[in-house]
Amino acid sequence: MKALVPALLAAALLVVGCGPTSDGTKTASGTGAPTAGKKFKVYLLPKQKGVPYFTSCAEGAEDAAKELGDIELTYDGPTDGKPEAAAEMIEKWVLKGADVIAVSCNDPQVLGPVLKKARDQGVKVITWDADASQDSRELFVNQATPQQIGYGLVDAMAKDLGGAEPTGQVAIVTARLTAANQNEWMVHMKERLKKYPKMQLVDVKPSNEDQKLAFEVSRDLMKAYPDLKGIFGISSVAFPGAAEAVKQAGKSGKVLVTGLATPNDMRSYVKDGTVKSVLLWNTKDLGFLTIEVAEAVAKGALKPNAPYFMSHRGEKKMQGDNVLLGDPIVFTKDNIDQFNF
């Protein structure tokens, strides 16, 4: 996959302070543009608060709130990643008068009903990063198509293993077996593996959004499959856990690891040769675009099947009810130091 290097954040923004609300969540109100009417209350829910990937997304979201000027942003989520805790937060936000709730959905079966209920009560609901069922939200801010991600992961591993005819057993460490987005990526990964018949997928294991468990699962995979040549870590928690397991096993360069995580999380593993390729999108840009879409939805200015969405950072393609951020980036030892997120 061709690496795309997005433009760096361009101009300094007019900034106001961020501080805790009475319930301890973080808010940011923008003053970047005059607002005739009220500020829209937007609540941004990650799969798991405290994970660097989502912290970086939140930074981009706060930049958007400041630049747009009519957004009162609250970013919060469960620190343990439990969807039941996320559902409780959504219900509380509805009672607080949310205009838009933007959700990275780690379990559509748990969150779908509460999102539908929020919509029934007049709240606009969008998803970002990880989707829910179409009837429980209006739009999905999608970092890339599932095919782009699935194909990109397999192509990166194939290149790392030897290019045109890569050979060896590979395994996948995912987040949760209920993670709809990762399940869809895996459909396309398996499809893409047909291009490389000598790469054999031998197992798929969940890590439950727990880096320690990802480490243990990866260690167990190497024991169960002594000829294992590669591990895909397809969440920002699973990937560093898998890489650390390979490093501690003394198998750096012998068992290759690739996946999805921030360049800051994976830099040391790239530098020491445990990892050759890291795939991701610009997480700050994903957060920024999510808040732009939230504002447009709150104003009734964006509907499914629009030809495109005009972001402050350029035209974004739309695919039905998906607003697409763009192609993933491939980080290697040659370019990873150009990025800081």
CATH code (residue 175):
3.40.50.2300
Alpha helices in the chain (DSSP H): 52-68, 83-95, 108-120, 146-161, 180-193, 211-224, 238-248, 263-271, 283-298
Whether 274 and 321 map to the same domain: the answer is: no
Whether 305 and 179 map to the same domain: the answer is: no
pLDDT at residue 308 tops 80: yes
Tell me how many domains the chain contains: 2
36/336: higher pLDDT = 336
- Closest residue by Cα to residue 234 from 253, 261, 256, 208: 261
Whether 135 and 151 map to the same domain: the answer is: no
Beginning with the edge strand found earlier in the chain, give each strand of the sheet holding 199-206 in spatial order: 199-206, 168-174, 228-233, 256-260, 275-280, 329-331
Tell me, yes or no, whether 1 lies in a domain. no
Whether 224 and 295 map to the same domain: the answer is: no
Tell me, yes or no, whether 7 lies in a domain. no
User: Please, which pLDDT band fits residue 10 given cuts at 50, 70 and 90?
Assistant: very low
Tell me, yes or no, whether 252 lies in a domain. yes
Whether 138 and 43 map to the same domain: the answer is: yes
Tell me, yes or no, whether 330 lies in a domain. no
Whether 126 and 58 map to the same domain: the answer is: yes
Q: Are 46 and 58 in contact (CB under 8 A)?
A: yes
Whether 215 and 298 map to the same domain: the answer is: no
Whether 154 and 265 map to the same domain: the answer is: yes
Of the listed ranges 34-43, 250-259, 325-334, the least confidently predicted one is: 34-43
Tell me, yes or no, whether 121 lies in a domain. yes
Q: pTM of the full predicted structure?
A: 0.81
Whether 157 and 269 map to the same domain: the answer is: yes
Whether 173 and 133 map to the same domain: the answer is: no
- Percent of the chain surpassing pLDDT 90: 85
Of the listed ranges 119-123, 163-167, 198-202, 206-210, the least confidently predicted one is: 163-167
Tell me, yes or no, whether 11 lies in a domain. no
Mean pLDDT along residues 25-40: 53
pLDDT at position 2, please?
38
Whether 263 and 305 map to the same domain: the answer is: no
**Domain of residue 25, residue span:** 18-143+282-325
For residue 224, give the 3-state DSSP assignment: helix
Mean pLDDT along residues 208-237: 97
pLDDT at position 14, please?
27
pLDDT at position 36, please?
56
Q: What is the pLDDT of residues 99-108, one digit of tens each?
A: 999 999 989 9
Report phi then psi at 201, rounded to 5.
-80, 120
Whether 275 and 298 map to the same domain: the answer is: no
